[in-house]
């Protein structure tokens, strides 16, 4: 391999699609969206996809199959998977399936600073989140109900996972909302004063910050 390339969901998606046959970048992007894989893979804009393809090509994981010329479209480069690309793609896939990874999603990060808002403010935000989660759950249920009869289960298994995780998150969010409503989960500015005093005594922060 002439260059190193790190695994990523988008890079894995490119290798996975090329495993089925040669494609040009537009075809890769179109298939990701057509098959609903853009719900779990951050496809981004075409420029980002081209950067991923360039890195895979420089690493000899994919190769140029041919260049297509058509009067209706700009010149398109068709790529195909190399033997090394097939090997590495399978290695990445097994690794991603078997090893949990902290991917630093936004929601836990926001929860870690929820105390900056009032309990009422957090409850209002979570009420809205719960509403959107219910909408997502309804959409996932509909997708699985309409497509399960036509497609093998493994093709939709990521939607099963998303439905399970969405339902679990919704259950937790609704429980927290109820605790906030009953006043069982609450806080005030006093906790910040106490925390600041504790950190000052421990020497973590200065008693007279500039």
Beta bridge partners of 78: 66
Q: What is the pLDDT of residues 25-64, one digit of tens each?
A: 989 999 998 888 888 998 877 889 999 999 999 999 999 9
pLDDT at residue 79 greater than cutoff 90: yes
Question: Hey, where are the domains in the chain?
Answer: 9-98, 106-183
Q: What is the pLDDT of residue 92?
A: 97
Q: What is the pLDDT of residues 139-151, one digit of tens each?
A: 999 989 888 777 8
Q: What is the pLDDT of residue 43?
A: 80
pLDDT at residue 188 greater than cutoff 80: yes
Kindly report the number of other CB atoms within 10 A of residue 104's CB atom: 7
Which has the minimum average pLDDT: 66-70, 90-94, 96-100, 123-127? 66-70
Q: What is the pLDDT of residue 120?
A: 96
Enumerate residues 6+ apart whose C-beta is below 8 A from 8: 52
pLDDT at residue 3 greater than cutoff 70: no
Q: What are phi and psi of 8, to 5 degrees?
A: -160, 160
| Residues 140, 162 contacting (CB under 8 angstroms) | yes
Mean pLDDT of the chain: 89
Six token digits for residue 53: 């393809």
Q: What is the pLDDT of residues 127-179, one digit of tens each?
A: 999 999 999 999 999 989 888 777 888 988 999 999 999 999 999 999 999 99
Q: What is the DSSP string of 83-135?
A: HHHHHHHHHHHHHHHHS------HHHHHHTTGGGS-HHHHHHHHHHHHHHHHH
Write down the pTM of the prediction: 0.81
Is the alpha carbon torsion for 11, 147, 136, 111 positive or negative? negative
Q: What is the DSSP string of the chain?
A: --S-----HHHHHHHHHHTTS-B-HHHHHHHHHHTTGGGTS----HHHHHHHHHHHHHTTSEEEEEEEEETTEEEEEEEEE-HHHHHHHHHHHHHHHHS------HHHHHHTTGGGS-HHHHHHHHHHHHHHHHHHHHHHHHHHHHHTTTS-GGGGHHHHHHHHHHHHHHHHHHHHHHHHHHTSS---THHHHHHHHHHHHTTSS-SS--
**CATH class of domain segment(s) 9-98:** mainly alpha
């Amino acid at each position: 391999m002439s260059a190193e390339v790190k695994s990523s969901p988008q890079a894995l998606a490119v290798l996975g699609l090329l495993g089925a046959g040669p494609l040009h970048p537009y075809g890769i992007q179109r298939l990701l969206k057509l098959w609903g894989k853009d719900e779990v893979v951050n496809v981004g804009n075409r420029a980002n996809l081209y950067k991923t393809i360039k890195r895979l090509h420089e690493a000899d994981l994919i190769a140029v199959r041919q260049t297509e010329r058509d009067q209706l479209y700009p010149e398109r480069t068709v790529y195909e998977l190399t033997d090394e690309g097939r090997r590495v793609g399978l290695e990445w896939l097994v690794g991603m399936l078997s090893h949990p990874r902290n991917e630093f999603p936004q929601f836990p990060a926001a929860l870690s600073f929820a105390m900056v808002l009032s309990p009422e403010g957090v409850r209002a935000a979570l009420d809205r989140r719960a509403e959107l989660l219910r909408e997502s759950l309804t959409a996932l249920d509909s997708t699985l109900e309409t497509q399960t009869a036509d497609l093998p289960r493994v093709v939709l298994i990521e939607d099963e996972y998303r439905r399970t995780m969405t339902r679990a998150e919704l259950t937790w969010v609704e429980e927290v909302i109820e605790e906030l409503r009953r006043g069982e989960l609450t806080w005030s500015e006093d906790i910040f004063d106490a925390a600041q005093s504790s950190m000052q005594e421990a020497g973590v922060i200065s008693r007279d910050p500039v």
